Amino acid sequence: MPVPRPARVSGIVEIAPRTGTAFALREGQVLTVIDPQGSQVADLVAYAAADVREVISNGRTFDYEETIALTTGNRLWSNRSNAMLAIEDDSVGRHDFLLTPCSEDTFRHFYPEHPVHRGCFGNLAEALGPYGVEPDAIPTAFNVFMNVPVDPGGALRVEPPTSKPGSYLELRALMPCIIGLTACSAYASNGGQFKPIHYRIN
Ligand SMILES: [Zn+2]
């Protein structure tokens, strides 16, 4: 018998730099998001598979979890106040749920010297379209590994992720979900370099 390649054995899927994908996650399955090279953000959105009008909500999540510093033990909640995903393991402890996915508009705003890119928003819109998700239904993403310190006065800034090669986040689906996931395209979010993201479903 042929020997399977390591990537198949471990079930790891690669998201190429500055691209995105979407897939179903059954209730109880665990999604592991991995930063293979370090200092790379992955934008994550989740919809209820039964009705994609139900979607993760940063506001509901902050309400129920009583923190914006989400890590192991916290859950991500929907606009209908259902817990969708539970963070079961987190080797980084620094993620963002405040800022929207990068988009053509944010490239024009922040990076006028660079070519416009469709960003995570455009990548999510294309990947989620086949699941019946309209672009206007893309919410603030849970930005895995994104490093957005908030000053006591409320000012925020985007700094390079603290994730190292092999850093990971594990999320268990608490309901059947459709997941959108990217390798983020914005300069500041990723320390100025665009790298792949890996994920695995168990
Ligand atoms: Zn992005």
Distance CA 125, CA 134 (A): 7
- C-beta separation of 191 from 41 below 8 A: no
User: For 62-104, what is each residue's pLDDT tens digit?
Assistant: 999 999 999 999 999 999 999 999 999 999 999 999 999 999 9
Residue 154: predicted pLDDT: 96
- C-beta separation of 30 from 174 below 8 A: no
Residue 1: predicted pLDDT: 52
Reply yes or no on whether the pLDDT at 8 is more than 90: no
User: Residue 138 C-alpha to ligand 1 middle, in angstroms?
Assistant: 13
User: For 28-48, what is each residue's pLDDT tens digit?
Assistant: 999 999 999 999 999 999 999
**3-class DSSP assignment, residue 184:** coil
User: For 109-164, what is each residue's pLDDT tens digit?
Assistant: 999 999 999 999 999 999 999 999 999 999 999 999 999 999 999 999 999 999 99
Nearest of 147, 149, 124 to residue 56 by alpha carbon? 124
- H or E segment at 198? strand 197-201
User: Residue 125 C-alpha to ligand 1 middle, in angstroms?
Assistant: 12
Dig out the tokens for 103 from the structure: 């988009």
User: Residue 139 C-alpha to ligand 1 middle, in angstroms?
Assistant: 13
User: Residue 103 C-alpha to ligand 1 middle, in angstroms?
Assistant: 7
Residue whose structure tokens are 């469709």: 118
Give the number of C-alpha atoms closer than 13 A to the C-alpha of residue 174, restricted to the C-beta side.
Answer: 15
